[in-house]
Structure 1
């Protein structure tokens, strides 16, 4: 089982969109996949069409009590496919775990010790340096940092990479960076081309290829709670191929 964290320390760069694109590619490939929605906004849960009953356990309950029973109760199927894609449901209540220290930072990792029915686990972390992101990354084998080719987003990449390095030196020595996914790339933007070159100069092979082009089809598919692989049109097909290539890169990565 590969546990892959998707993180960004700047909001609005499409971190959840990348998580959903990878989930779509994994489903298309036939991988049994669990998406863990650690973002208190719960966007991944909604976009995956997961039906969560009011008052039922969610990821916050799992962090409160990381037991086999709680994990099972908080896991719901995605509507994207008949089987093989599940969601550990997100909740605004998870914000109570977003502390700045590393107290109980291994709770999700412990909870995943009860999980064995999946080939791939995708952890959608919130866009912050708090306890939820650190808890999510500690549970992972590999981490993807999502950015877009803009000044402030590029600066946030450095903070995210330092956070991963800090965790490797501390509570999660097995964690490795898979690389940087550059999202929302516009082919004719001179400013974006400059920032992309800047990223490549700073991080070299850690900048993953291919980049994710800016296409309205991705937001349209997510707004309809559909995988990008099922969305019609050439733009969606291009995005699907991009996420398949990124997933292949992750799948080849060593795991603990």
Structure 2
């Protein structure tokens, strides 16, 4: 299975929205998918309409085991079958202080997972133990940003973190690329920042970018995949996430 981490070192850029868009595209394609909600805010768990069971991602990180993973995994209300969630928990913040000697815990837990084509890890919007734990479990990492000054600066920190993990506890980790979210076609400032990203990172800037459309938030607020949300804007977004998923699936699988 392919394990993709979705990360950002700046909050508010739509990291969870990108995770959910990719999950929607995977569901539409018939790929069995597991979303791992590492963000203590638990937004992916809520938007995917998941009801917590006997465990959550925090209990998995406390003591990884097949039983802990099973207890922490619950189906999404988006579909009758094919999309599950490793349930998020505010308690996962307790693991944000772990050092690299324990960064393998999620990777170990996912080694007991089977039957999925794709795993999407929604990392916290910070550079701490949780994010490093999430990325260390991945084959590929997606860095989400928006075309603004501070968000672009955070991309550099994220890319350095990925490179550091590759040289240390996660030698198989590779950057998939940078997803630029909430793009407004007529913004001069955004056009400048997009050009800046292209200059700095070249082909790592994934295309197409994700346009700013209210349909994305509307679908998430209704706990529905964007691929089934009505309207031209939702169809445009669905096509974007389909193309981004294509790029991810071209990465080598475990």
Indicate whether the TM-score tops 0.5.
Answer: yes
Give, in angstroms, the shift of residue 116 of structure 1: 1.0
Whether the 8 Å contact between 1:45 and 1:87 is mirrored in structure 2 is yes
Give, in angstroms, the shift of residue 103 of structure 1: 3.0
Where does residue 234 of structure 2 map in the other structure?
Answer: 236
Alignment partners' CA distance in 2, 1:9 and 1:254: 25
Where does residue 158 of structure 2 map in the other structure?
Answer: 160
Give, in angstroms, the shift of residue 52 of structure 1: 1.3
Alignment partners' CA distance in 1, 2:151 and 2:99: 24
Where does residue 172 of structure 1 map in the other structure?
Answer: 170
Secondary structure of 1:181's partner? strand
Where does residue 121 of structure 2 map in the other structure?
Answer: 123
User: What does the per-residue CA deviation read over 1:205-241, in whole Å, with 9 as the maximum and x for residues that have no partner?
Assistant: 0000000000000000000000000100000000000
Identify the range of structure 1 (148-157 vs 246-255) with the bigger mean alpha-carbon deviation.
Answer: 246-255
Where does residue 144 of structure 2 map in the other structure?
Answer: 146
User: What does the per-residue CA deviation read over 1:68-102, in whole Å, with 9 as the maximum and x for residues that have no partner?
Assistant: 00100100000000100000000000000001621
Give, in angstroms, the shift of residue 65 of structure 1: 1.2
TM-score by length of 1: 0.98
Alignment partners' CA distance in 2, 1:134 and 1:85: 25
Alignment map for 1:204-215 (pairs within 5 Å):
204-215=202-213
Where does residue 48 of structure 2 map in the other structure?
Answer: 48
Identify the range of structure 1 (99-108 vs 203-212) with the bigger mean alpha-carbon deviation.
Answer: 99-108
Secondary structure of 1:188's partner? coil
Query: Which ranges in structure 2 are unaligned for 5 or more consecutive residues?
Result: none
Q: 1:113 aligns with which of 107, 111, 114?
A: 111
RMSD: 0.7
Whether the 8 Å contact between 1:142 and 1:255 is mirrored in structure 2 is no
User: What does the per-residue CA deviation read over 1:129-183, in whole Å, with 9 as the maximum and x for residues that have no partner?
Assistant: 1000000000000000000000000000000000000000000000000000000
Give, in angstroms, the shift of residue 51 of structure 1: 1.0
TM-score by length of 2: 0.99
Identify the range of structure 1 (12-21 vs 91-100) with the bigger mean alpha-carbon deviation.
Answer: 91-100
Q: Find out whether 1:11 has 2:20 as its counterpart.
A: no
Alignment map for 1:30-109 (pairs within 5 Å):
30-53=30-53, 56-99=54-97, 101-109=99-107
Alignment partners' CA distance in 2, 1:2 and 1:188: 36
Alignment partners' CA distance in 2, 1:100 and 1:185: 35
Equivalences, count: 254
